[in-house]
Amino acid sequence: MAQDVNIPGDELREAQNMLGFVHDYIDIGHHTFDFDAAFGPELSHGSAQNFENKWEDGKHQLQKQVQGIKDAIGSILDSFEKTDQDAVSNLDDGGGK
């Protein structure tokens, strides 16, 4: 007996959208985020700035990896969609008889 195939398309789209959000906002820094208002001037100019300086290299690598995963999810979704369309086309052409 054949088992149902569950393709988590909605979940994959949601993950792709969330990764897009992460990718777009991972690069916030003192130019786009008010550290003083969020943490106070003492922490902002000390620990937060120290973290921002050290985070500089890592965030660009992480952005590349996030984009790679996002692109891979897109490829998976495209493949599922194409397979689904091909299956429908075969059934419409009488291939499923």
- Across the range 44-48, mean pLDDT stands at 74
Structure-token match 């897009």, residue found: 20
pTM greater than 0.85 (yes/no):
no
Angstrom distance (rounded) from CA 59 to CA 39: 21
pLDDT grade for 31, boundaries at 50, 70 and 90: low
Residues contacting 40, CB < 8 A, separation 6+: none
Residue 44: what residue type?
Answer: S
Q: Give the Cα-Cα-Cα angle 37, 41, 42 (nearest 5 degrees).
A: 140
pLDDT digits (tens, 9 = 90+) for 57-71: 788 899 999 999 999
